[in-house]
């Protein structure tokens, strides 16, 4: 059974191609099977269908005709269905969310009767999903709508699939390209370091180091001093000397760790390059609190033991939280700080169902 995009021999779309433009012809070429397929999609009324369900119905529409089944799965329609993450069925219409490439989505709506195809906006697709669950709320012009966007819209976006998983390298290259080594170009980095704090307590540098020249002088003094200490010397034993030069806690827990972090920043200030930029920012103490959005509907509720998958859901998210907490604690301790990270789990609960209640 073809259940993933790897099972289709059809070549992925180029970015210039459009599913909405190419799908009508593909439907016309297999009109009989597609009519049967879309009738199967809408036969059970309103519902949200996942990729596996869509593929099963597509193959079932070909009946026992194995060559036809293979042709559908390996052709353009098979590729589109394999690339579809989900589909909203609102008879006689079926709306598809198609992920043709990493970070590239198309939303189309197909009429199950005449197989007409219409490209729709992301907002229109979301409206279909809202209609599926609460039509009255979906039609309410005053209903709450929250749009999440990038925090910094001026930052370039990753556009190549090969960049996925290499975000830190991309950011490091981008930032180092903005820093020329001249004092005036270092102001954004300096402002960032001056703003670092934990609950009002300054981290890394104090307000006295308000120019790149002052910061470089402080780094030089600290590097010369710390090179004379044993590598394992605790930060507390030379904290006062650091503060005399305008350097606050956060550089490391030992003389060796502090020396490395000081050196990384010195290299960035003198000759910015992506490698040193990445090394330095991996040491910057900036993450202490994390919010996790969990889809597990029964997490944190009373009277849910024994419900399907409840145990697995809760164990999974709690394991993730514990692992993340240990990772944060290890990093924070290595930065020379005595801070306990806070992790908040936010999830959608099922209040008022089956007698269980939300933990308050």
| CATH number, position 240 | 1.20.120.1230
Confidence of residue 59 (pLDDT cuts 50, 70, 90): confident
Q: Is 302 in the same domain as 202?
A: no
> Which pLDDT score, from 0 to 100, does residue 125 have?
95
The percent of residues above 70 in pLDDT, for the chain, comes to: 82
Question: What's the pLDDT tens digit per position in 138-162?
Answer: 888 887 777 776 555 566 676 677 7
Mean pLDDT, the chain, whole residue set: 84
Same domain as 312, residue 234 = no
Q: Are 23 and 117 in contact (CB under 8 A)?
A: yes
153 or 294: whose pLDDT is higher? Answer: 294
User: Is 320 within the bounds of a domain?
Assistant: yes
The answer to whether position 353 is within a domain reads no
The domain in which residue 124 lies consists of 5-138
Q: Would you say 358 and 300 are in contact if contact means Cβ atoms under 8 Å apart? A: yes
Q: Is residue 341 part of a domain?
A: yes
Q: Predicted confidence band at 339 (pLDDT cuts at 50, 70, 90)?
A: very high
Domain presence at residue 144: no
Q: Quick: pLDDT tens for 1-32.
A: 334 333 444 445 554 568 889 999 888 888 88
**Each residue of 204-240: pLDDT tens digit?**
999 999 999 999 999 999 999 999 999 999 999 999 9
Q: How sure is the predictor about 68, in pLDDT bands with cuts at 50, 70 and 90?
A: confident
Q: Answer yes or no: is 152 within a domain.
A: no
Residue 248 has pLDDT above 80, yes or no: yes
pLDDT of 360? 44
Same domain (yes/no): 30, 107: yes
* Token couple for 106: 């198309």
- Residue 101: strand, helix, or coil: strand
Based on C-alpha coordinates, what's the Rg of the chain? 28
pLDDT reported for residue 138? 83
Q: Can you give the pLDDT at residue 238?
A: 97
pLDDT at 250: 96
Same domain (yes/no): 128, 224: no
Domain identity same for 299 and 256: no
**Do 276 and 215 sit in the same domain of this protein?**
yes
**How far apart, in whole angstroms, are the C-alpha atoms of residue 57 and residue 225?**
72
Residue 47 in any domain: the answer is: yes
Distance CA 12, CA 101 (A): 8
Beta strands in 36-177 (DSSP E): 47-50, 84-90, 93-101, 104-111, 117-119
pLDDT at 263: 96
Same domain, 233 and 216: yes
Tens of pLDDT along 270-287? Answer: 888 889 899 999 999 999
The whole-number pLDDT of residue 155 equals 64
Q: 281 with 331: CB under 8 angstroms? A: no
pLDDT above 50 (res 65): yes
**Is there a single domain that holds both residue 84 and residue 27?**
yes
pLDDT tens digits, one per residue of 250-264 = 999 999 999 999 999
How crowded is the C-beta side of 74, counted as CA atoms within 13 Å?
7
**pLDDT the model gives residue 149:** 65
Residue with the bigger pLDDT between 225 and 320: it is 225
- What CATH number has the domain bearing residue 125? 3.10.450.330
What is the three-class DSSP state of 292?
A: strand
- 108 within 8 A of 23, measured Cβ to Cβ: yes
In a domain, residue 145? The reply is no
Same domain, 200 and 241: yes
Asked if 98 and 54 sit in the same domain, the reply is: yes
Structure-block tokens of residue 104: 């590239």
What's phi and psi for 139, nearest 5 deg? -90, -5
State phi, psi for 294 to the nearest 5 degrees: -105, 135
Identify the domain boundary among 138, 163, 188. Answer: 138
Which pLDDT band holds residue 301 (cuts at 50, 70, 90)?
low
Q: Confirm whether 246 is domain-assigned.
A: yes
- Domain total of the chain: 3
Q: Does residue 115 register a pLDDT over 90?
A: yes
Do residue 198 and residue 315 come from a single domain? no
Q: Are residues 270 and 313 in the same domain?
A: no
């Amino acid at each position: 059974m073809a259940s993933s995009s790897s099972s289709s021999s059809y070549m992925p779309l180029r970015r210039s191609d459009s599913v909405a433009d190419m799908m009508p012809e593909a439907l016309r070429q297999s009109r009989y099977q597609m009519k049967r397929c879309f009738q199967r999609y809408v036969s059970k009324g309103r519902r949200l269908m996942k990729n596996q369900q869509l593929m099963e119905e597509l193959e079932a529409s070909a009946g026992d005709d194995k060559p036809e089944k293979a042709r559908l799965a390996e052709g353009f329609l098979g590729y589109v269905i394999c690339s579809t993450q989900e589909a909203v069925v609102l008879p006689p219409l079926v709306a598809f969310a198609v992920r043709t490439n990493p970070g590239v989505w198309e939303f189309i709506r197909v009429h199950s009767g005449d197989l007409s195809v219409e490209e729709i906006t992301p907002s229109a697709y979301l409206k279909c999903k809202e209609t599926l669950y609460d039509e009255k709320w979906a039609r309410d012009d005053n209903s709450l709508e929250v749009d999440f966007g990038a925090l910094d819209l001026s930052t370039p976006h990753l556009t190549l699939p090969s960049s996925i998983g290499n975000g830190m390298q991309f950011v490091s290259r981008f930032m180092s390209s903005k820093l020329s080594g001249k004092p005036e170009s270092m102001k954004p980095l300096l402002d960032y370091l001056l703003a670092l704090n934990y609950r009002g307590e300054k981290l890394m540098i104090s307000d006295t180091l308000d120019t790149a020249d002052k910061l470089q002088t402080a780094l030089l003094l600290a590097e010369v001093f710390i090179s004379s200490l044993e590598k394992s010397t605790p930060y507390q034993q030379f904290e006062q000397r650091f503060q005399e030069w305008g350097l606050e806690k956060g550089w490391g827990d030992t003389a060796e760790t502090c020396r490395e972090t000081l050196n990384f920043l010195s290299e960035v200030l003198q000759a910015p390059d992506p490698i040193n930029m990445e090394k330095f920012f991996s040491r910057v103490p900036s993450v202490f609190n994390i919010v996790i959005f969990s889809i597990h509907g029964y997490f944190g509720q009373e009277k849910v033991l024994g419900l399907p998958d409840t145990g697995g859901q809760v164990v999974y998210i709690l394991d993730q939280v514990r692992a993340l907490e240990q990772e944060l604690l290890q990093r924070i301790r290595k930065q020379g700080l005595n801070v306990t990270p806070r992790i908040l789990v936010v999830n959608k609960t099922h209040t008022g169902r089956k007698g269980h209640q939300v933990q308050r």
